[in-house]
């Protein structure tokens, strides 16, 4: 049974955008991020030194201006110089004069450059949350968390973006890579776009392409069963799922667990998952 939110989790992720502004990342084998905004040329990323819960002053979620800074190039240069490692990172979607947004970066998997936006690993964080909580984000960046739908929308709509999902069960690991990934605006219910599969997990996410996000208190597609309530998570459900990575941790009674059907079927709850994105044009550095 999942634990209730701690006060630290509630303060870790603050509401990221005003309601009227829609301008527009234990055991783990994958950690990471890429910054993808373009507002000012001198905008750069700043590595933090603290792991785990972050200062609430640095975790508000600003909107992203459509004119992006050249942070991707800056970050790539730092990566090539060996300056960046997997861990927490402050990015500045509105430039250095704006507020920092703390994310978790995976600079190791498949060349690095990944912004992690979801992780399940120990069941400490409750993912059966409301629309507003999924919008703002919740959890602990060093353990389990959801980065937030508003920030996810902002950062995946500034150019071509790739999605990677890493999963582990026992000694078995698999991945799914999608060359086309984005999340639409709140007015469009954070609708998912995903296509272009390669990998070892099976193409289960394709089933959810074009679906709106749903939570226990909001079901944008009211036809049929309220899947978010029935399967205890927030997700892009489609009567109801082939993937349910935000389901109940360690529990699979009534198929309410963490599921990727094309890998483990509906009867097994996956103990470790990590979802992440990076610009499709990102060129992995050679390490070593």
Task: State residue 285's pLDDT score.
Answer: 56
Calpha distance 123→252 (Å, rounded): 13
In a domain, 101, yes or no: yes
Task: State residue 163's pLDDT score.
Answer: 99
In a domain, 225, yes or no: yes
Task: State residue 60's pLDDT score.
Answer: 40
Q: 3-state class of 75 per DSSP?
A: helix
Calpha distance 285→79 (Å, rounded): 7
Task: State residue 283's pLDDT score.
Answer: 78
**DSSP structure class, residue 35:** -
Task: State residue 66's pLDDT score.
Answer: 40
In a domain, 210, yes or no: yes
Q: Can you give the residue range of the structural domain that contains 202? A: 70-279
In the chain, % helix, strand, coil (3-state, to 5) comes to 20, 25, 55
Task: State residue 92's pLDDT score.
Answer: 80
In a domain, 60, yes or no: no
Residue 2 and residue 127 in contact, taking contact as beta carbons nearer than 8 Å: yes
How many residues does the structure list for the chain? Answer: 288
Count the Cβ atoms, other than its own, within 10 Å of residue 267.
10
Calpha distance 240→256 (Å, rounded): 11
Residue 179 burial (CB < 10 Å; 0-12/13-18/19+)? middle
Residue 210 and residue 191 in contact, taking contact as beta carbons nearer than 8 Å: yes
Count the domains in the chain: 1
In a domain, 92, yes or no: yes
Task: Give me the torsion for CA of 93, 95, 97, 99, rounded to 10°.
Answer: 10
Phi, psi of 47 (to 5 degrees): -75, 135
CATH code of the domain in which 233 resides: 3.90.215.10
CA nearest 242: which of 226, 229, 231, 253?
A: 231
Residue 159 and residue 282 in contact, taking contact as beta carbons nearer than 8 Å: no
In a domain, 177, yes or no: yes
Element (H, E) at 71: helix 71-80
Cα Rg of the chain, angstroms: 17
In a domain, 199, yes or no: yes
Q: pLDDT truncated to tens, each residue of the chain (288 aa)? A: 444 444 444 444 444 433 334 333 333 443 344 444 433 334 334 444 334 333 333 334 433 344 344 454 454 444 444 447 899 989 887 677 778 889 999 999 999 999 999 999 999 999 999 999 999 999 999 999 999 999 999 999 988 999 999 999 999 999 999 999 999 999 999 999 999 999 999 999 999 999 999 999 999 987 789 999 999 999 999 999 999 999 999 988 889 999 999 999 988 999 999 999 999 988 765 444
Task: State residue 85's pLDDT score.
Answer: 87
Task: State residue 237's pLDDT score.
Answer: 97
In a domain, 119, yes or no: yes
């Amino acid at each position: 049974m999942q634990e209730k939110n701690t006060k630290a989790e509630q303060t870790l992720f603050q509401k990221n955008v005003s309601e009227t502004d829609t301008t527009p990342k234990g055991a783990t084998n994958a950690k990471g991020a890429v910054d993808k905004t373009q507002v000012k040329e001198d905008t750069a990323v700043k590595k933090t030194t603290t792991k785990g819960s972050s200062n609430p002053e640095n975790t508000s979620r600003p909107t992203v201006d459509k004119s992006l800074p050249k942070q991707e190039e800056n970050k790539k240069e730092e990566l090539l110089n060996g300056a960046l490692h997997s861990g927490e990172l402050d990015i500045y979607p509105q430039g250095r004069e704006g507020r920092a947004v703390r994310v978790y970066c995976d600079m190791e998997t498949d060349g690095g450059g990944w912004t992690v936006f979801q992780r399940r690993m120990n069941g400490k964080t409750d993912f059966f949350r409301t629309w507003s909580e999924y919008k703002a984000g919740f959890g602990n960046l060093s353990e389990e968390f959801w980065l937030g739908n508003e920030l996810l929308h902002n950062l995946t709509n500034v150019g071509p973006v790739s999605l990677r999902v890493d999963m582990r069960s026992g000694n078995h690991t698999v991945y799914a890579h999608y060359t086309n990934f984005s999340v639409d605006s709140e007015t469009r219910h954070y609708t998912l776009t995903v296509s272009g599969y390669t990998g070892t997990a099976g193409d289960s996410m394709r089933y959810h392409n074009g679906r709106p996000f749903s939570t226990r208190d909001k079901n944008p597609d009211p036809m049929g069963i309220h899947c978010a309530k029935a399967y205890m998570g927030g997700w892009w459900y489609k009567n109801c799922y082939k993937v349910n990575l935000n389901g109940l941790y360690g529990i699979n009674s009534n198929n309410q667990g963490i599921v990727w059907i094309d890998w483990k079927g509906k009867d097994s709850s996956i103990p470790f998952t990590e979802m992440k994105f990076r610009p499709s044009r990102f060129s992995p550095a050679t390490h070593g």
